[in-house]
Amino acid sequence: RGVGTNITERKGAEQALRDSERELRLLINAVPAVISYADAGERMRSCNNAMAQLLGRPREMILNRTMREIFGEDRYRVLEPHVRRALAGEEAHFERTQVKADGDLLDLAVKYIPRRNERGEVEGFYTLATDITEIRRLERLKMEFVSTVSHELRTPLTSIRGSLGLLSGGV
């Protein structure tokens, strides 16, 4: 005796889930922004390739380690207030400068987004960090340009103003 059950539908659903997960992983790893997830204990549970490249470490050396272990004590102290806000259920937005693995400086716009379970309790937070180095460089160039133009125009305009003052005074 035996009982046969058609599990074709279940197997199809399992395969669809695996395919969906693979696609999501490919998408997250293709994004140039840092994407990660840390649990309530600040232990890194997921990260994309951009984070591994930024830190100059393989993902295996990042996953399942605490933020303090990953970033070191000094950098963690800068991040800690924002982490506390995220774990308290509040989104945290801030900008920071990060030293890349190759020694170059990188300006980042960072956002910590709390993750809540079905009861509404915070169980961790997502990180989204985007490179704003080029934006900051262009802002500095713009400020330098405005400063230079202002300085260069000040001298001739002062002369013109003086001459107009003399003319209006009847000289």
pLDDT, one tens digit per residue, over 136-159 is 888 888 888 888 887 777 777 777
Q: Which is it for the CA torsion 89, 46, 30, 99, positive or negative?
A: positive
Which residues sit opposite 116 in a β-bridge? 122
Supply 49's token pair.
């390739």
| Six token digits for residue 64 | 């399942």
d(CA 124, CA 136): 30
pLDDT per residue as tens digits for the range 49-92: 999 988 889 999 999 999 999 999 999 999 999 999 999 999 99
* Residue-level pLDDT at 136: 84
- What pLDDT shows up at residue 171? 66
Name the token pair of 41. Answer: 């204990």
| pTM score, whole prediction | 0.73
Mean pLDDT of the chain: 89
* Among 47, 51, 56, 48, residue whose Cα is nearest residue 101: 56
Is beta strand 92-99 parallel, antiparallel or unpaired with respect to 44-47?
A: unpaired
The predicted structure's pLDDT at residue 122: 96
**6-61 confidence digits (pLDDT tens):** 888 888 888 888 988 888 888 888 888 999 999 999 999 999 999 998 888 999 99
H or E element in which residue 92 lies: strand 92-99
